[in-house]
Amino acid sequence: MNVSDTATTTVPAAGEPRPLPSLPVVMWIAWFSMREMVRRKRLVSLGLLNLLPVLAVLAVRIFFRDEPITAQQQLTALTYDVIVPFLLPVMGMAVGASAIGEQVEEGTIVYLWTRPIRRRAIYLGRLVAAQTVAVLVPSLALVACFVIMVSKGPDVITWAFLKLYLGTFGIILLGASSYTALFAAFGTWVRKPVVPAILFAFGWENLVSEIPARVQELSLRFHLQNLVERPQVADTSDLPGLLGALLTTAFKREPVPDLQSVAVLILTVVVASVAGVWLLRHKEIEN
Amino acid sequence: MNASGAGVASGVARISADRVGKWFGEVIAVNNCTISVGTGVVGLLGANGAGKSTLFKMLAGLIEPSHGTVRIFGTELRRDVGWYRRVGFCPESEVLPGWMTGREFLSLSLRLMGFGKDEIKQSVDYWLERFELVDARNRRLGGYSKGMKQKLKLAQALAHDPEVIFLDEPLNGMDPVSRKQSIDLVRELGAAGRTVLVSSHILPEVETMTSEIVLIDRGKVLAEGSVTEIRDKIPEHPTTVALVSREARRLAGFLIGCDHVKSVELESEERVVVRTDAAVGFYRALPGWVLENDLAVDEILTLDDSLEAVFQYLTER
């Protein structure tokens, strides 16, 4: 067989070749990218980090078995204090910031770039894969938490608990997706996204979400915590007058409608994705 | 020598760059380059850091020119990505997705070119066989040697039978046998009417593939065309000439001190090697010297019409 015999192609010989349809391409890239991402070594450390809520539930189950701590209380506290402010930003950062930026830096994006596929299909394929991983890992931890909680007895499974439990999956889905989309755009924009991403996740998000009035709405954490069913005002009843008043003002969380928070989080995904696609389209593949 | 010039290789230009330039901050990587390439094999030659990789990447649509336009089939690849169906690209970097197997990598490459399942299988089998990678087809790319990676990179660039092929340092890390096979393949592709642009800093490598070259140095195209054409455009180019003569000793004695002659060496009793710094003047004067002085010259051989000599002269000038 010589070169001219290798024409096994269906590529049109004349006319203007069109890019491949984006949807199947996104699915193919997502599938292969996901397989790549789950093989990364950092996923092991992320998996270990996600054992935090599981270990906490296990500790309660073993050491506080006679305390009147309900499964609902445990789940709410874990979501509010561990999953939302820590695990979701970390997951988003670890898989999002590297989703596209790392491929560009390594140079392996060349093998996608030189195909007849739209840049948005490359970006969205990688992003969907990263979001799936970022959602799956904490979700698996949540499943493990559920198993430990219900091992106490069938009376744990109430309608209110199930509602809360399923709602937590929704929070993980929204939170991991929005953080991942944001950090993916970030990673496409700057060459070394880790430091700025950490500053955003644990600087901006920590600070802004605690500022009273509407400023706190500028953080993703606020909207995610807003979706967790929990009293929103800090309990300062034991503190003396002025200090109590100050703290109440300082930590006052003014809830917004759930729908608004959901809309903000979805909008974050959309805006970050559009920005990321734009950035990738103008990216130069130097390696 | 002008940066612009007649198109290299034959036929209508499939690759054209019009006064393209690229700078990174204050560094000018490519400066005002104009080239056009038709069908056949063309070598893009330059030392490391000459700017050939940047030019190559601009041509392949990987980076945007700071000024000027690059067109493949008359279109800009960065805008009309559908044209990548007709383009194959083999990058210089040897980084491949290490977690994939060779078969998976080639299959995905073809899948993303729009091929169906049966076509993918047929093509993957053919190219694995052709590059002798059948035994390693199910091995992860992380475990491939440099030469194997190079072959796989070539395979993914060629598997969809493109009309325009960019090969950036394609023979790096290959063993001699694979090197020979790849050189033959590139020549075959050129003979079959494909446009193959091969970037390399190793001159003998390019010489074995083609005589059509684009010389680049310090971001500028120094010359383009066939080695002989380029050579002929440089009248003051130093040349080494061997003169075969029955009276070599007498001839050598005469030539010492003649105009345009830099040095004379009596290589054997039948052969004199002359180095001249003005080839055209030397060739014009030689018949007169021979006739007027009754010298015997049976044969004239130009010894350094090689690509290396031309390249060395142009880049040092």
A113/B85 Cβ within 8 A: no
Tell whether the model's pLDDT for residue A5 goes beyond 80.
Answer: no
Residue A239 — pLDDT band, cuts 50, 70, 90? low
Can you tell me the mean pLDDT for A178-204? 92
DSSP lists the bridge partners of residue B263 as B275
B109/A18 Cβ within 8 A: no
Q: How far apart are CA B309 and CA B317, in angstroms?
A: 12
Residue A4 — pLDDT band, cuts 50, 70, 90? very low
Sites in chain B below the pLDDT cut of 50: 1-6
Closest to A61 measured CA to CA, from A138, A150, A1: A150
Q: How far apart are CA A161 and CA A164, in angstroms?
A: 5
Q: Which residues of A touch B126 (CB under 8 A)?
A: 1, 6, 8
Chain A interface, best mutation among B22, B81, B113, B127, by max A CB count within 10 A: B81
Contact A93, B63 (CB under 8 A): no
Residue A191 — pLDDT band, cuts 50, 70, 90? confident
Can you tell me the mean pLDDT for A210-225? 86
Do domains B10-232 and B239-316 share one topology? The answer is no
- Which residue of A lies nearest to B122 if distances are taken between CA atoms? A8
Q: How far apart are CA A179 and CA A134, in angstroms?
A: 9
Distance from CA of B308 to the nearest CA of A (A): 28
Q: How far apart are CA A225 and CA A209, in angstroms?
A: 9
pLDDT at residue A9, rounded to an integer:
35
Contact A180, A91 (CB under 8 A): yes
In chain A, where are the structural domains located?
A: 19-53+67-224+259-281
- Which residue of A lies nearest to B63 if distances are taken between CA atoms? A284
Tell whether the model's pLDDT for residue A201 goes beyond 80.
Answer: yes
In tens, the pLDDT along B40-98 reads 999 988 877 788 889 889 999 999 999 999 999 989 888 899 999 999 999 988 899 99
pLDDT at residue A240, rounded to an integer:
60
3-state DSSP call for residue B159? Answer: coil
Q: Sign (positive/negative) of CA torsion B207, B210, B212, B213?
A: negative
pLDDT at residue A256, rounded to an integer:
86
Q: How far apart are CA B265 and CA A48, in angstroms?
A: 77
Contact B32, B76 (CB under 8 A): no
In chain B, where are the structural domains located?
A: 10-232, 239-316
Q: How far apart are CA B205 and CA B187, in angstroms?
A: 12
Lowest mean pLDDT among A40-54, A137-151, B155-169, B223-237: B223-237
Tell whether the model's pLDDT for residue A12 goes beyond 60.
Answer: no
CA distances (Å), origin A148, targets A60, A73, A80: 10, 14, 19
Average pLDDT in chain A = 86
A116/B82 Cβ within 8 A: yes
pLDDT at residue B309, rounded to an integer:
65
Lowest mean pLDDT among A94-98, A237-241, B1-5, B150-154: B1-5
Cβ within 8 Å of residue A260, ≥6 positions away: A223
B123/A6 Cβ within 8 A: yes
Contact A121, A277 (CB under 8 A): no
Decide if B111 touches A, using CB distance below 8 A: yes
Q: Which residues of B touch A19 (CB under 8 A)?
A: 81-82
Residue listed under structure tokens 């904490």: A138
Residue B220 belongs to what H/E stretch? strand B220-226
Distance from CA of B198 to the nearest CA of A (A): 17
CA atoms within 13 A on the CB side of B156: 26
pLDDT at residue B231, rounded to an integer:
66
Q: Which CATH number is associated with domain B239-316? A: 3.30.70
Closest to A184 measured CA to CA, from A111, A277, A284, A46: A277
Q: What is the DSSP string of B28-92?
A: EEEEEEEEEEEEEEEEEE--TTSSHHHHHHHHTTSS--SEEEEEETTB-TTT-GGGGGGEEEE-S
Q: What is the DSSP string of A182-201?
A: HHHHHHHH-S--HHHHHHII
Q: How far apart are CA A144 and CA B26, in angstroms?
A: 56
3-state DSSP call for residue B23? Answer: strand
Q: List the structure tokens of B8.
A: 């290299």
Residue listed under structure tokens 């560094």: B27
Tell whether the model's pLDDT for residue A2 goes beyond 70.
Answer: no
| A19 DSSP assignment | P
Contact B79, B116 (CB under 8 A): no
pLDDT at residue A111, rounded to an integer:
95
Tell whether the model's pLDDT for residue A264 goes beyond 50.
Answer: yes
Q: List the structure tokens of B139.
A: 């091995």
Contact B192, A7 (CB under 8 A): no
Q: Sign (positive/negative) of CA torsion A57, A61, A67, A71?
A: positive
**B139-148 core/surface letters (b: 16 or more CB in 10 A; e: else):** ebbeebeebb
pLDDT at residue B288, rounded to an integer:
83
Closest CB to B160: pick one of A11, A28, A282. Answer: A11
Instruction: Provide the whole-model pTM.
Output: 0.81
B 191-230 residues with CB < 8 A to A: 191-192, 194
B10-232 is classed CATH 3.10.20.30: no
Can you tell me the mean pLDDT for A8-28? 72
pLDDT at residue B6, rounded to an integer:
39
B82/A107 Cβ within 8 A: no
Quick count: other Cβ atoms within 10 Å of Cβ B249? Answer: 12
pLDDT at residue B310, rounded to an integer:
66
Tell whether the model's pLDDT for residue A267 goes beyond 50.
Answer: yes
3-state DSSP call for residue A161? Answer: helix
Q: Sign (positive/negative) of CA torsion A112, A93, A79, A256?
A: negative
